[in-house]
Amino acid sequence: MGTRKVPEVVIRRLPVYLRILEELAADGVEVVSSSELSLRSGHSSEQIRKDFAHFGAFGTRGVGYRTRALARRLERILGLDRQRNAVLVGVGNLGTALARYLVGHPGHHMRLVGLFDRDPDRVGQEVDGLEVQSADDLAESALSVEARIGIVAVPASQAQKVADDLIAGGVQTILNFSPVKLRVGADCFVRNIDIMLELQSLSYYVSDREISRSGKPHGR
Amino acid sequence: MGTRKVPEVVIRRLPVYLRILEELAADGVEVVSSSELSLRSGHSSEQIRKDFAHFGAFGTRGVGYRTRALARRLERILGLDRQRNAVLVGVGNLGTALARYLVGHPGHHMRLVGLFDRDPDRVGQEVDGLEVQSADDLAESALSVEARIGIVAVPASQAQKVADDLIAGGVQTILNFSPVKLRVGADCFVRNIDIMLELQSLSYYVSDREISRSGKPHGR
DNA sequence: TAGATTGTTAATCGATTAACAATC
DNA sequence: TAGATTGTTAATCGATTAACAATC
């Protein structure tokens, strides 16, 4: 069958296109070409057409893509046509900021439905109207709110345990901000965001440093 | 000459290796093989050896790599043998969390030397001992502290202006948390972290949703 | 129709994996 | 020496880019 696995790099570009299409639609633009999308996204028009082609033919030759219709298609492909329920574990500095960000920026098809921390001092506190619950009940609570996405913002030492509990609670994908390689089964998808690693790798592109024996680094 | 450009994917893996090597060295482990590094990093041993080979021969055949020596080599390659000065612009929820995270986690060769916001109410406040400065003086201040790395945590509407000021202030690499494609010259390197896009793409890997015409999605 | 732009196939490029000679 | 593991070359794999026929 034509059921080929869509590469992750393609999936990661879809929300970029979706955002642009929603902006265009909000501005009253009804049709857009792949070259205009290229300008706005930074990806080549060929790549954009090929990305869409993974899921069928969405455009009209000689014309382009209908912004609103294509946005709806992408939403559906990404599973964002329904609200996605997410829970966040670890209400420290970063966790609190992420929670406020999610609550404060609606219209992205993501809904934060649970906030958890293991610190008794934090449990019961509110963050933008959401009460922090005890992480002791994480699995059951995640189950009860039907969360499918988990955000891990706890220290390294707790990350694996939290991931295990989230998965026990029915969570299928995890956005992991902890510097730990989570061990999960094949039915759970993990994406890591490690800010310190990002900064450290950026340091390579600073050009005032000494030249290593392989030659000077190149910027972009 | 052998001065080939090292692929970005390689550069992004180096800090992962560095972190593992530092942990091993701290635990008193003096030598490590590429297969052990593979276990801990999740990258294949062939890939690890090839990554190192971009910069020369660091190991001993039949033996492995000396943890401390290799860590120092990687530090040097990444430009982390000296402290890297970074400034952060936008002291909202996320910016404050990032600042606290950087100050609170020393030993990563990164030093936060400036905090900026355009909101007069925030200017003068302290975050973990660092005083928030006015973003009006961003370019001059970045110059004076010799910051080479800039962190952008402002709303979309201000992001481009902040990037321009940072670059005017000598910043060569930017970690951009705003949902904006920054326009920068070829001498500035930008990496984007867009949390909302990450979450939206994760939604694709949630498997309880309806099947699109290209077939059901595959987890990992 | 003529002009424009998609959808798709072919060519290219680059990264990963496999294999193995070098060598400690 | 024998066993182990690196460094490097070759093979494979996958993604991007180029080209163009299809068609609105």
Q: What is the pLDDT of residues B48-89, one digit of tens each?
A: 999 999 999 999 999 999 999 999 999 999 999 998 999 999
Query: What is the H or E stretch that residue A162 is in?
Result: helix A156-168
| Under 8 Å between Cβ of A128 and A101 | no
Residues 1-30 of B with CB under 7 A from strand C: 7, 9-10
Q: Which residue of B200, B213, B220 to mutate against A (max A Cβ within 10 Å)? A: B200
Q: Cβ of residue A8 near strand C, that is under 7 Å?
A: no
Give chain B positions within 8 Å (CB) of A55: 212-214
The pLDDT score that the predictor gives to residue B208 is: 65
The pLDDT score that the predictor gives to residue B218 is: 40
Q: Cβ of residue A35 near strand D, that is under 7 Å?
A: no
Find the angle CA(A45)-CA(A70)-CA(A87) to the nearest 5 degrees: 105
The pLDDT score that the predictor gives to residue B207 is: 86
The pLDDT score that the predictor gives to residue B211 is: 34
**pLDDT range class, residue B2, cuts 50, 70, 90:** very low
How many Å apart are B109 CA and C23 C1'? 35
The pLDDT score that the predictor gives to residue A214 is: 36
| Average pLDDT for B155-165 | 98
What would the pLDDT profile of A134-181 be if each residue is shown by its tens digit?
999 999 999 999 999 999 999 999 999 999 999 999 999 999 999 999
pLDDT for B215 beyond 60 = no
Nearest nucleotide to A43 (CA to C1') is D16
The pLDDT score that the predictor gives to residue A4 is: 67
| Average pLDDT for A4-32 | 96
Bases of chain C below 7 A from a protein C-beta are 2-9, 14-19, 22-24
pLDDT for A18 beyond 70 = yes
- How far A186 CA sits from the closest chain B CA (Å)? 5
Q: Which residue from A143, A141, A119, A123 is spatially nearest to A133, judged by alpha carbons?
A: A123
Q: Which of B199, B202, B215 sits opposite A3 (nearest CB)?
A: B215
pLDDT for A220 beyond 50 = no
Tokens of B70: 């290799």
**pLDDT range class, residue A217, cuts 50, 70, 90:** very low
pLDDT for B1 beyond 60 = no
Residue A215's beta-bridge partner residues? A212
The pLDDT score that the predictor gives to residue B106 is: 83
Q: Cβ of residue B17 near strand D, that is under 7 Å?
A: no
Q: Report the alpha-carbon distance of residue B122 to residue A23 in Å, rounded.
A: 31
Residues 49-88 of A with CB under 7 A from strand D: 49-50, 60-63
pLDDT for B4 beyond 70 = no
**pTM for this predicted structure:** 0.92
| Under 8 Å between Cβ of B205 and B217 | yes
Instruction: Burial-class residue B107 by CB neighbours within 10 Å (0-12, 13-18, 19+).
Output: exposed
Mean pLDDT estimate for chain B: 92
The pLDDT score that the predictor gives to residue A107 is: 81
| Under 8 Å between Cβ of A126 and A96 | no
The pLDDT score that the predictor gives to residue A1 is: 40
Put simply, the answer to whether B199 touches A110 (Cβ < 8 Å) is yes
Percent residues over pLDDT 70 in chain B: 92
| Under 8 Å between Cβ of A12 and A18 | no
Looking at residue B56, its amino acid is G
What would the pLDDT profile of A116-144 be if each residue is shown by its tens digit?
999 999 999 999 999 999 999 999 999 99
**pLDDT range class, residue A70, cuts 50, 70, 90:** very high
Put simply, the answer to whether A214 touches B55 (Cβ < 8 Å) is yes
The pLDDT score that the predictor gives to residue B22 is: 97
Q: Cβ of residue B15 near strand D, that is under 7 Å?
A: no
| Under 8 Å between Cβ of B197 and A12 | yes
Q: In what order do the strands lie in the sheet with B173-176?
A: B126-127, B130-134, B110-117, B84-89, B149-152, B173-176, B189-192
B29 interface with A at CB cutoff 8 Å: no
**pLDDT range class, residue A208, cuts 50, 70, 90:** low
